[in-house]
């Protein structure tokens, strides 16, 4: 026996509602006189037609779990109703079962069902012609069989094909979108490589050349060392970004596992110190962090220290801590309170998006009374471990 048709609670509720409405329609059919009287157990009444209709509707409520069984019950109840004189209510039950079957069954079943209903319609035409020997009656019976059996199947197949075409169009649109994204990523990678990477490499090389002529321990040599280190580091970050842009799908996800994390915060501190920033660091993150959380915290530390080196007064405090619930990052840098807030541009916005994008919190601002010109600018972020 074929497996049950894939269903859901909403579809089951839909079938139950349909059965209820069809039962009301069956009662209305009898009340309007659209059913013939029949004699059962010695009693004559039009209400006997509701007996096979009720049995068929009870089967409708489980038609997705036992599709072929319900189809057999619908056919048998319609045949019994026909033997009792026929009523429109049994036609509605058979229509519902055929329509739902053609709409929900696998295509292989639907093809067999379509051939079966066409064959039954043709057989009804031939048999009625042989029995009645009247071409007009045979044609009427054939048309009635076609309307009852073929119409709901044809209707459901048409609806299903339209849905399949819409789904195919949606898949093609998604494919085109992904293709456009891949092409744009490749273009961005080319532009970054051609327009930026070469200049950064040139800066690092020029600084390397300048170091050969700068005396040891002089401010010039220290500055050139910082420029060279920044250039080499920027080229490495840019290379990683270009590689990530050139990859897509699972490859890009795999590259995320190699993204820098809090275990490399020491490198950030040393780089900041080479830039002239005195950093007091206390780094004690949780032992294990999800890759996305680890990378986001690293980038927040990187951006905050960069802003402190650019806009601060040469002194910063870094604290990274955490527990089983979240990891916290705090960077405080001494600076001059001015109308322009250090880091208030894209860097601050990026740090906020990294934290809040993982369900965390971010805040920044000045500390102190503001009575002097040397206050502390603080950046704080807290990111849930189960982001």
DSSP per-residue codes, 155-206: HHHHHHHHHHHHHHHHHHHHHHHHHHHHHHHHHHHHHHIIIIIHHHHHHHHH
> Is the distance from CB of 26 to CB of 51 less than 8 angstroms?
no
Q: What is the pLDDT of residue 277?
A: 84
Among 112-121, 219-228, 241-250, 271-280, name the one with the lowest average pLDDT.
241-250
Exposed/middle/buried for 327, CB within 10 Å: 0-12, 13-18, 19+?
A: buried
Span 282-299, average pLDDT: 83
CB under 8 Å to 122, separation ≥6 — which residues? 142
Distance between CA 262 and CA 14 in Å, rounded? 53
So what's the pLDDT on residue 342? Answer: 47
The structure tokens 């509720």 sit at 13
The whole-number pLDDT of residue 283 equals 87
pLDDT tens digits for range 153-203: 888 889 888 988 888 898 898 888 888 877 887 777 777 666 676 677 677
Greater pLDDT, 369 or 230: 230
Percent of the chain with pLDDT over 70: 82
- Using CA atoms, how far apart are residues 306 and 168, in angstroms rounded to an integer? 49
Query: 217: which DSSP letter?
Result: T
Residue 362 is predicted with a pLDDT of: 92
Q: CA angle 140-143-145, nearest 5°?
A: 110
Cα-flanking dihedrals φ and ψ of residue 334, to 5°?
A: -80, 135
- The mean-pLDDT minimum among 106-115, 181-190, 291-300 falls in 181-190
DSSP 37: -
Contacts 24+ apart (CB under 8 A), 290-294: 290/385, 290/386, 290/387, 291/256, 291/257, 291/259, 291/261, 292/256, 292/358, 292/387, 293/327, 293/358, 293/383, 293/384, 293/385, 293/387, 294/259, 294/261, 294/262
205-231 mean pLDDT: 76
Higher-scoring residue by pLDDT: 371, 285: 285
Give Rg (Cα) of the chain. Answer: 38
pLDDT at 260 over 60: yes
Please compute the mean of the pLDDT values over residues 285-297 and round it to a whole number. 82
DSSP 11: H
Q: Are 247 and 259 in contact (CB under 8 A)?
A: no
User: 221-224 long-range CB contacts below 8 Å, 24 or more apart?
Assistant: 222/274, 222/276
Report field, pTM of the whole predicted structure over 0.75: no
Residues 355, 326 contacting (CB under 8 angstroms): no
Q: 379: which strand partners?
A: 331, 364
Output 140 or 348, whichever has higher pLDDT. Answer: 348
pLDDT greater than 50 at residue 251: no
Contact in structure between 91 and 52 (CB atoms under 8 Å): no
Average pLDDT for 91-99 = 85
Q: What is the pLDDT of residue 371?
A: 53
pLDDT above 50 (res 343): no
Report pLDDT for 330: 92
Mean pLDDT of 275-297: 83
Is residue 213's pLDDT more than 80? Answer: no
**What does the pLDDT average to over 45-69?**
81
Mean of the per-residue pLDDT values of the chain = 78
pLDDT of 328 reads 92
Amino acid 252: pLDDT: 47
> How much of the chain exceeds pLDDT 90, in percent?
4
> What pLDDT, on the 0 to 100 scale, is given for residue 318?
92
Which tens digits make up the pLDDT trace of 315-338?
Answer: 889 999 888 888 999 999 887 666
pLDDT tier, 211 (very low <50, low <70, confident <90, very high otherwise)? confident
Quick one: CA torsion of 321, 322, 328, 333, rounded to 10 degrees?
A: 0
Give CA separation, 376 vs 206, 316, 333, in Å. Answer: 36, 9, 5
């Amino acid at each position: 026996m074929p497996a049950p048709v894939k269903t859901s609670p909403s579809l089951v509720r839909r079938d139950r509602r349909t059965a209820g409405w069809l039962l009301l329609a069956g009662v209305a059919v009898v009340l309007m006189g659209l059913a013939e009287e029949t004699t059962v157990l010695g009693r004559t009444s039009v209400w006997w037609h509701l007996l096979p209709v009720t049995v068929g509707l009870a089967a409708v409520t489980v038609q997705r779990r036992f599709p072929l069984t319900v189809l057999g019950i619908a056919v048998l109840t319609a045949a019994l109703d026909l033997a009792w004189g026929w009523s429109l209510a049994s036609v509605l039950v058979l229509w519902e079962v055929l329509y739902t079957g053609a709409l929900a069954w696998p295509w292989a079943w639907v093809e067999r069902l379509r051939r079966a209903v066409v064959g039954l319609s043709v057989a009804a035409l031939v048999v009625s012609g042989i029995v009645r020997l009247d071409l007009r009656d045979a044609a009427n019976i054939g048309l009635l069989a076609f309307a009852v059996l073929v119409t709901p199947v044809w209707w459901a197949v048409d609806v299903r094909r339209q849905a399949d075409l819409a789904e195919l169009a949606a898949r093609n649109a998604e494919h085109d979108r992904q293709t456009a994204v891949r092409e744009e990523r490749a273009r961005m990678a080319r532009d970054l490589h051609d327009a930026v990477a070469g200049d950064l490499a040139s800066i690092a090389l020029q600084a390397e050349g300048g170091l050969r002529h700068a005396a040891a321990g002089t401010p010039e040599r220290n500055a050139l060392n910082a420029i060279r280190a920044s250039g080499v580091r920027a080229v490495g970050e840019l290379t990683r970004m270009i590689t990530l842009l050139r990859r897509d799908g699972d490859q890009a996800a795999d590259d995320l596992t190699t993204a820098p994390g809090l275990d490399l915060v020491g490198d950030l501190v040393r780089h900041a110190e080479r830039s002239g920033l005195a950093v007091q660091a206390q780094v004690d993150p949780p032992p294990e962090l999800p890759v996305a959380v680890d990378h986001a915290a690293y980038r927040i530390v990187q951006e905050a220290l960069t802003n402190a080196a650019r806009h601060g007064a040469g002194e910063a405090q870094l604290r990274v801590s955490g527990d089983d619930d979240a990891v916290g990052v705090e960077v405080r840098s001494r600076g001059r309170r001015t109308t322009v807030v250090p880091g208030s541009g894209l860097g601050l916005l990026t740090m906020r998006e990294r934290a809040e994008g993982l369900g965390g919190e971010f805040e920044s601002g000045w500390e102190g009374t503001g009575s002097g010109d040397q206050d502390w600018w603080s950046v704080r972020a807290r990111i849930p471990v189960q982001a």
